[in-house]
Amino acid sequence: MRFIFKTDYEQDIKLLQHGGHWWSYGLLFAVLAAAPYLVGSYLQSQLVFVFIYAIVGVALMILVGFTGQGSIGHAAFLAIGAYTAAYLQARGYPFEVYFPAAGILTGIVGAIVGIPALRLHGIYLLIATISFAFIVEEVLARWESVTHGNEGMRVRAIEFFGQTVSRDSNSFYFLCLGILVLVIIGTLNLMRSPTGRAFIAIRDSETAAKSMGVDIGRYKVRSFAISAAITGLAGTLYAHKMSFISPEMFTLLLSIEFIMVIIIGGAFGLHGAILGAIFIVMVDPLITMLKDDVPGMIAAFSRGFGVGEDAARAIQDRLYAIFSAPGLKGAIYGLIIILFVLFEPLGLYGRWLKIKLYFQLFPLYKRATFRRQKTYVKSERNR
């Protein structure tokens, strides 16, 4: 077992805690850099979606995981970023202008949304963010001079310093990867700065943070603004990847997908956002696989066990009918959320930490290490 003996604060805030990290992250980076040359175009496209979801996941992690504020309205920030990009591109501005512009504008909107957060807690904040998302969706559908309403907007390929970067090219892959890496490094730096420390203090106890001199209002608004700005940047990439945007793409379902990213990944660290993004993006191909391949496989399997041809065919048709039902995706999402919160509350990254600790402490691991504390005293209502 590795034990890192820290002797000063500089050691505590290092980004890479020990030599092993250089190896593991270096290897990961090398694999990601080589990936577009190794995998097919479909998988590359999925990876780009993973990057975009991961950027949103990191943004949401700053707000939910680190500052302890809730938001079920991040699809609205994504939409604002995407529409800013589409609008400015249609006006002839290049990527290097509208990319930061989308981030800044979304950040400003985020700060405005954050202002009610000063007075609201828990559910009220969640409900306020949902309302905000609905209003944005409706505005996008009605403000036709800018957004073209429900007809949607076409988004052309990126013009980046004179280079055309089409949405399926390797360059776009590297652009998304680069932005994700920059966002992650930026967030890590943010979290070891006084601002990040204040966020965590607010999450752990507002009262304690306030008595230590943290200006709660300012930091909450700042957290909302940063989170929204990063989501806006992701929105630009999303618009280019989809090449077409319309209001019905940015619904409550998308906001909930983003929340799922951090719940599935584990809402306490950036690793969680990445793992969650991989998981969510892979759900769709998985459903397609369920529909196309699994019924046939199970039928073949049951034939192997001596089930008659007719019965096997009946099983195949029945399964196909079940997996092709229109609401299947919703049911799977619902089940995933419930099962993760009930049985794996720390998410995939938490599971990884548990497995790691199990082997580090073998045979002394105890389950109680990760048990959450329950509180039955009313806390939300009397604040």
Partner 1 sequence: MLDFLQQLVSGLALGCIYGLIALGFVLIYKATEVINFAQGDLMMLGGFVAYTYITIIGLNYWLGFLLAVLTMGIVGMTVERFVVRPILGYPLFSIIMVTIGLGFLLRSLAGMIWGTDDLKIEAPFSQGVLRIGDLVLAYDKLSVIVATVILIAVLYLFFNRTRLGTAMRATSENMLAAYYMGIPVKRVVSLVWAISAMVAGVAGVLLAPITFVHSNVGLVLGLKAFPAAVLGGFGSIPGALVGGLIIGVVETLAGFYLPQGWKDVAPYLILLLVLLLRPEGLFGALGRKKV
- Residue 311 in the binding site for partner 1 (CB under 8 A): no
Binding segment for partner 1 among 233-241, 279-287, 332-340, 349-357 (CB under 8 A)? 332-340
- Residue 142 in the binding site for partner 1 (CB under 8 A): yes
**Residues facing residue 153 across a β-bridge:** 245
Matching residue, tokens 């929105």? 235
The least CB distance from residue 340 to partner 1, in Å, is 9
Residues 45 and 171: beta-carbon distance below 8 Å: no
48, 58, 75, 128: which one binds partner 1 (CB under 8 A): 128
d(CA 295, CA 326): 17
- Residue 212 in the binding site for partner 1 (CB under 8 A): no
H helix intervals, the chain? 9-12, 19-38, 41-60, 74-90, 95-114, 122-142, 144-147, 170-191, 194-204, 206-211, 216-242, 252-265, 270-292, 294-304, 309-323, 328-343, 347-361
| CA 256 to chain CA centroid, nearest Å | 10
- Residue 318 in the binding site for partner 1 (CB under 8 A): no
Query: In the range 41-60, which residues lie near partner 1 by CB under 8 A?
Result: none
# chain residues binding partner 1, by CB under 8 A: 55
- Residue 336 in the binding site for partner 1 (CB under 8 A): yes
- Residue 131 in the binding site for partner 1 (CB under 8 A): yes
- Residue 145 in the binding site for partner 1 (CB under 8 A): no
- Residue 4 in the binding site for partner 1 (CB under 8 A): no
Here the tokens at position 295 are 């019924």
40, 327, 367, 371: which one binds partner 1 (CB under 8 A): 327
Where b means 16+ CB within 10 Å and e means fewer, 25-48 reads: eeeeeeebeeebeeeeeeebbbbb
The least CB distance from residue 268 to partner 1, in Å, is 11
Residues 218 and 199: beta-carbon distance below 8 Å: no
Matching residue, tokens 């329950």? 374
- Residue 371 in the binding site for partner 1 (CB under 8 A): no
* DSSP for residue 62: I
- Residue 123 in the binding site for partner 1 (CB under 8 A): yes
338, 355, 360, 361: which one binds partner 1 (CB under 8 A): 338
Q: Which of 115, 97, 96, 103 is nearest to 78 (CA)?
A: 103
The least CB distance from residue 371 to partner 1, in Å, is 11
Site residues, partner 1 (CB under 8 A): 64, 70, 116, 119-120, 122-124, 126-128, 130-132, 134-135, 138, 141-142, 206-207, 210-211, 252, 256, 259, 263, 267, 322, 325-331, 333-338, 341-342, 345, 372, 374-378, 380-383
